[in-house]
Amino acid sequence: MLDGIKISFIAIVDNNNRYRKDLTERIWEHEKHVRGLLKNKTCLVGRKTFEMTNWKGPRSWVLTRNINWRRSGIGTIHSIDDLHLFVEDNKIYVLGGKSLYEQLAEYVDEMHLYVFNNKKGEEDWIRFNMKEWQPLDYSSNKVWSYAKLERKQKEIDQ
């Protein structure tokens, strides 16, 4: 199904904090990243994320269980099992939130997380074991932080 497809997950972790109640206000670096990907990369967008952002490009798709859901200018996929049918270069960029991540978690190879910092220093979004991930890049300012993570290769028993 998804074997051989590299999945790069790009997300804003907003934690529904007081600064940003939804994605109507965005991190500019994240927006540039997403807009660049939408120009010519295969992208999968969650339905809720699409409805908040209207992100679409010539090779972008929305994942939704609603078989009647359609929008102009973007393809629709109704099952993760069909994802491989729409990937041309064995790599897909997933632009989504918690629900989409949870469906694809075991297949994600790389993550780009843009996190709105909160005063408690806690983000209740997705759960993953940091021991399975290698940090490749990190930057921060007072309002938001960015982390690029790559899944560590599993050691093969010999």
Q: Which residues, at least 6 apart from 56, have a Cβ–Cβ distance to it below 8 Å? A: 38, 45, 50, 71, 73, 74
pLDDT tens sequence across 30-61: 888 999 999 999 999 999 889 888 999 999 99
Domain membership of residue 1 (yes or no) is no
- pLDDT, residue 19, reads 47
- pLDDT, residue 60, reads 94
| Mean pLDDT computed over every residue of the chain | 84
Q: What is the CATH number of the domain that holds 59?
A: 3.40.430.10
pTM listed for this prediction: 0.85
CB of 118 closer than 8 Å to CB of 65 = no
Cα(60)–Cα(50) distance, integer angstroms: 11
Domain membership of residue 144 (yes or no) is yes
Domain membership of residue 74 (yes or no) is yes
Domain membership of residue 158 (yes or no) is no
By residue range, what is the domain housing residue 15?
6-151
Cα(38)–Cα(83) distance, integer angstroms: 17
Domain membership of residue 113 (yes or no) is yes
Q: How confident is the model at residue 140 (pLDDT cuts 50, 70, 90)?
A: confident
Report how many domains make up the chain: 1
